[in-house]
Amino acid sequence: MHKLTLKELSAQLQARKISATELATLFLDRIAASDLNAFLHVDRDLTLAQAKAADVRLAGNDAGPLTGVPIAHKDIFVTRNWRTTAGSRMLQDYVSPFDATVVEQFNAAGTVTLGKLNCDEFAMGSSNENSFYGAVKNPWDKTAIPGGSSGGSAAAVAARLAPAATATDTGGSIRQPASLCGVTGIKPTYGSVSRYGMIAFASSLDQGGPIAKTAEDCGLLLNAMTGFDERDSTSLQRPKEDFTRSLNQSLQGLRIGVPKEFFGAGLAADVEAAVRAALAEFEKLGATLVEISLPKTELSIPVYYVIAPAEASSNLSRFDGVRYGHRAADYKDLADMYKKSRAEGFGDEVKRRILVGSYVLSHGYYDAYYLQAQKIRRLIAEDFQRALAGENRQCDVIMGPVSPTVAWDLGDKTDDPVANYLADIFTLSTSLAGLPGMSIPCGFGQGEKNGKRPVGLQIIGNYFDEARLLNVAHQFQQATDWHLREPA
């Protein structure tokens, strides 16, 4: 039963072939037996109480497609009655008095919460090694990283500790771990999913999305997650839509843009081989490949690592030991309390980004760094629009690798933060432009020591083109079985 997709589990629940309580118990037992460190907080009683409530709904006329389905939430979404730590010592014992909008939406849909998932501290990282609570292990190879920052979400779905999970993507934190763990994940258009109750890292970039086994599952989850929220100033006023409406459309005539910048130096041969094979499969399905150029791709790393730390510096100033979060036990005065609380509460990577952000926003450097980065960000977005929009558009979707390599070994890059940053080269530009992008499994590469590790194919679309992306991904998954492969 744990191997079924979310869609299949929903059908089993609706047909009363299994109860929500039985299903929740099955996954809770799997979580308890796992050694991946994917979960930070599990409360069996809370989960089973939600499952019993779902069973009441299933027995009546109040059940929807997600009623009784178990999911887990990245520990960046505040959740009433559950600890919400953002992977940080700063929020070690924090329990929110309210639910994030995303959590509210899933509760309203009748889902059952399995627990809170590990992540890089304040979502800052590409390997999930920055969590105060220890690294998550990749279920395909426990000596490898799962990707980040949503490593707990991707690992939990890959290991079937949960059929689906919420995640967030600031610079690739849904797509990259989905790729490295061999699951499906989608980052929707910026503003589609409410950020209310999502602990902020970089406000102009953060976006919630789902990770699941299939594109169809991700569509069902997006149906619940999206929608206007007046409590989020960046939330877009758009009508609700069914993201699964186009899943079965033919790909005949689809034009796939293949950016030459995504296939240059730095891309591992095993990753390129898997991605090229996936592109050939799309040609068999009726699509046409078109070489395009996204010339500002290489600038996405310096631009992102100016803008994101600047916004983090501002957002994380609230964690000062006064209202909530860690407070130093011994201090002389208020200023000393601030300094010691923040020094003790934040990890090295978070401190690094706060310092960088404070520097680029400081007097005399704002124009030289932050303002210039925002100008180049606009140019990056215009590269995508030349390819995807207007009468002279070159393609319907863009495809390429998600990550330059397969998952690396735990500890390999912990002493080299820049090496971690470079791993985001293919995902950052999509986030900077606010476009939707997703990762689907497309093969395996050779791990350095212990055999095969997953490779993901990235699919990028124009604004609000999620339904098309899911259609493209679904048709590939109907023709291949990479998404059905599971770790031993």
Q: Are 406 and 454 in contact (CB under 8 A)?
A: yes
* Helix 101-109 with 215-225: angle, nearest 10 deg: 110
Q: Cα torsion for 180, 474, 487, 44, to the nearest 10°?
A: 90
Which H or E run includes 166? strand 164-169
Q: Which of 347, 270, 266 is nearest to 312 (CA)?
A: 347
- Does residue 179 have a cis bond before it (omega within 30 degrees)? no
Catalytic residues: 74, 149, 173
CA distance 463 to 465: 5
Enumerate residues 6+ apart whose C-beta is below 8 A from 30: 2, 159, 160, 161
By residue count, the chain amounts to: 488
Which H or E run includes 70? strand 70-74
Residue with tokens 């009683």: 45
Q: Which of 198, 176, 149, 200 is nearest to 349 (CA)?
A: 149
